[in-house]
Structure 1
Amino acid sequence: MKVAVLSPVAWRTPPRHYGPWEQMASNLTEGLHQAGIDVTLFATGDSVTASRLSSVVEKGYEEERNQDAKVLECLHISNLMEQAASFDLIHNHFDFMPLSYSRLIKTPVLTTIHGFSSEKIIPVYQKYNRDSHYVSISKANRHPALTYLGTVYNGLDTGSFQFSPSSDNYLLFFGRIHPDKGTAQAIQIAIKSKRRLFIAGIIQDEDYYKKRVEPYLNDDIQFLGAAGPDLRNELLGRAIALLHPIHFEEPFGLSVVEAMLCGTPVIAFNKGSMPELIRHGNTGFLVNDVEEAVAAVGQLEQIDRHTCHEWAKTRFSKEKMVEDYLNLYHQII
């Protein structure tokens, strides 16, 4: 079986910091390669993979901002589609644009839908629903107008995360600094529960950061910026809990799984995929507002960190994801 994995070209695959779609394309590619599958990764030229790499774009447009994103995307997608006959299956991690080629080639296309940026993109998915195959990354993120071949949860390289049996008694916010992610609410939870808070992530909304985050920074509430793998593991592993007060129907939460792999429970607003990722009262708490989150902070002692680790390792590993996708590949081929 020869498989082409199409990654986005906003960031490197795998990303240096942010880039969840690129991270999943990388995890899948490396997992397929380790499983003995003949796989080619289509990504930026600076991407890192043990498999074959095909690229016509050297660096991601979010990392070199002088590039035109649409031009790079067109060059990148067409590079794969012009080689489509060389593969038994194309696994698309690049949203809806590659679907416009799907009726022009004979190779089947499987698209992992990582989320919907807007209802306005649904007509494209609807148009190719009968000719293509869709996979959701959580049951919560399924659109009622579409038909899905299955649900495959994102899988992480569990060996990259170190289990920590104890914590340093601080709370952690790990993610984009954006209203959707609830950074401001995480700050309020920390203040009301009288706990230290570390904030790590890229600033995606500068105005939000200036008005809702920066004024509260002090010795007890610290912004650390983007965190690479080493700092990420240290922060996640030593936290007493990850705060995830999201304000949107999140399709999946990589930081939620990453925290649990390190043994750290998660306190999350009960939206989107959170009930599928967190076992309430067992690996964390699902809450509805800041006050309930503050109450949950007071109940963290009842959570066993090893249970968090085992839950995430069993359910959200790279190996489990690869196994589930291979089952779908065989159905299609």
Structure 2
Amino acid sequence: MSGLRVALIASARFPIIEPFAGGLEAHTWGLAHALRQRGHHVELFAAPGSDPALGARELPVRRVVLSAAARADASMPSTMWMAEHHAYLGLMLELARDGEHRFDLVHNNSLHYLPVAMASALRVPVVTTLHTPPTPWLESAIRAQDTCPVTFTAVSRFTAGAWRPTVPAAHVVRNGIDTDFWTPGPGGGGLVWSGRLVPEKGPHHAIGAARAAGVPLRIAGPVSDPAYYEDMIVPLLGDDVRYVGHLDRRGLVELIGSAAAALVTPSWDEPYGLVVAEALACGTPVCGFDRGALSEILTPECGLLAPPGDVAALADLIPRVMRLDRRAARRRAEHFCSLDHTAAAYTDLYREVAR
């Protein structure tokens, strides 16, 4: 079978463009490029402002214009919720109208419930990737149907297990990163933390562990929760802990590759952990909390994990992690975290469902 025609549904909330708002956006950008390199025709439906090189279709398909009476109704949700709902509703109605003539399959890479709830209205197969633990809206969309016609994938064994009561047989297709772009760096004497600055990613724990270990720390990522950043991060910054901004991929490669170790400190059950894969590809060993899928990615040769939330135990591990072999970290990325492996697995699945 030659290249397939894939409708790739992305987030309507954040554009798919560097610097990325989070791991979901980074993954979607990388997957679209990797699938095209494999000869597939990919049409990406994404938020306004997405990377022009992806040829994305804007995903408010039509901007919602509500009457004054509707906006004044007591049931009116937030403007953002309504815009997102309207965008996916418009897209799914469009695909139900003529999607089978334009695409061989639809890959829903968003977190929204409507592509699952409306999949039975399409005459083209739908694949949905589970990127998060179970959410009420998505679980409801699946359970509302006697037989949900969607083929599900999960980004880790851990995430597949979390969804098993609702989705008994999700295919595990792990997220991957471009190991030709994320290349090894020289290492250094300090630590790095990267990701969204939000409570569930726990950068304040990374600061506490780095200080306790007496090792300087640099923090990079978008300030996704300004109140948390101002209250919990800014007061802790100093000469030994610096926030270096929201960097693009090239800036992150340089930053992570120049660190002796990367700290990964989730305060929730991490469904995958793209920042772990990025660090390993840069040859930088990882020291983190044992939550979610992190233990699937790391081996003792490239990273060590402390009990969840135990900052003192994390600090104790830092000197050992800084001495791990950077070549072992890079090998793990190449063998386990490659975007090429991800694209190959999705290609096999696409061809299976398209038949």
Would the TM-score normalized by the shorter structure come out above 0.5?
A: yes
**Counterpart pick for 2:301 among 277, 282, 298:** 282
In structure 2, relative to structure 1, the CA distance for the partners of 1:81 and 1:25 (3 Å cut) is farther
**Counterpart pick for 1:260 among 256, 274, 280:** 280
In structure 2, relative to structure 1, the CA distance for the partners of 1:68 and 1:87 (3 Å cut) is closer
In structure 2, relative to structure 1, the CA distance for the partners of 1:55 and 1:121 (3 Å cut) is closer
RMSD: 2.5
Q: After superposing the two structures, state which structure 1 stretch, 295-304 or 120-129, moved more.
A: 120-129
2:105 is aligned to 89
**Structure 1 counterpart of 2:324, one-letter code:** I
List runs of 5+ in structure 2 lacking aligned partners.
62-79
1:62 is aligned to none
Mapped to 2, the partners of 1:306 and 1:83 lie a distance apart of 50
Contact 1:30 1:49 in 2 (8 A): no
Mapped to 2, the partners of 1:6 and 1:102 lie a distance apart of 13
2:159 is aligned to 141
**Structure 2 counterpart of 1:278, one-letter code:** L
In structure 2, relative to structure 1, the CA distance for the partners of 1:191 and 1:34 (3 Å cut) is same
Q: Alignment partner of 1:21: what SS?
A: helix
TM-score normalised by L of structure 2: 0.84
Mapped to 2, the partners of 1:56 and 1:267 lie a distance apart of 38
The CA deviation at 1:277 is 1.1
Deviation sequence 1:246-303 (CA, Å, 0-9, x none):
1111101111110110000111100100011111x21110111212211111212541
Deviation sequence 1:38-96 (CA, Å, 0-9, x none):
322222454336665433549xxxxxx8x944334434444444441121211111122
Q: Alignment partner of 1:160: what SS?
A: coil
1:47 is aligned to 50
In structure 2, relative to structure 1, the CA distance for the partners of 1:75 and 1:16 (3 Å cut) is farther
In structure 2, relative to structure 1, the CA distance for the partners of 1:219 and 1:192 (3 Å cut) is same
1:204 is aligned to 224
Is 1:109 the counterpart of 2:126 in the alignment? Answer: yes
- In the TM superposition, 1:1-333 aligns within 5 A as 1-44=4-47, 46-48=49-51, 53-55=56-58, 57=60, 68-85=83-100, 86-95=102-111, 96-116=113-133, 118-119=135-136, 121-128=138-145, 130-142=148-160, 143-145=163-165, 146-164=167-185, 166-279=186-299, 281-288=300-307, 289-332=310-353, 333=355
Q: After superposing the two structures, state which structure 1 stretch, 107-116 or 38-47, moved more.
A: 38-47
Deviation sequence 1:209-253 (CA, Å, 0-9, x none):
223211111111111221112221111101111111111111011
Mapped to 2, the partners of 1:292 and 1:260 lie a distance apart of 22
In structure 2, relative to structure 1, the CA distance for the partners of 1:117 and 1:173 (3 Å cut) is farther
**Structure 2 counterpart of 1:10, one-letter code:** R
Contact 1:7 1:92 in 2 (8 A): yes
List runs of 5+ in structure 1 lacking aligned partners.
59-64
The CA deviation at 1:152 is 0.3
What percent of counterpart residues are identical?
A: 26
TM-score normalised by L of structure 1: 0.90
Contact 1:5 1:41 in 2 (8 A): yes
Q: Alignment partner of 2:224: what SS?
A: coil
Contact 1:56 1:79 in 2 (8 A): no
**Structure 2 counterpart of 1:106, one-letter code:** R
Contact 2:256 2:279 in 1 (8 A): yes
Contact 1:24 1:155 in 2 (8 A): yes
**Structure 2 counterpart of 1:71, one-letter code:** H
Mapped to 1, the partners of 2:22 and 2:216 lie a distance apart of 27
Mapped to 1, the partners of 2:231 and 2:54 lie a distance apart of 45
Mapped to 2, the partners of 1:120 and 1:44 lie a distance apart of 21
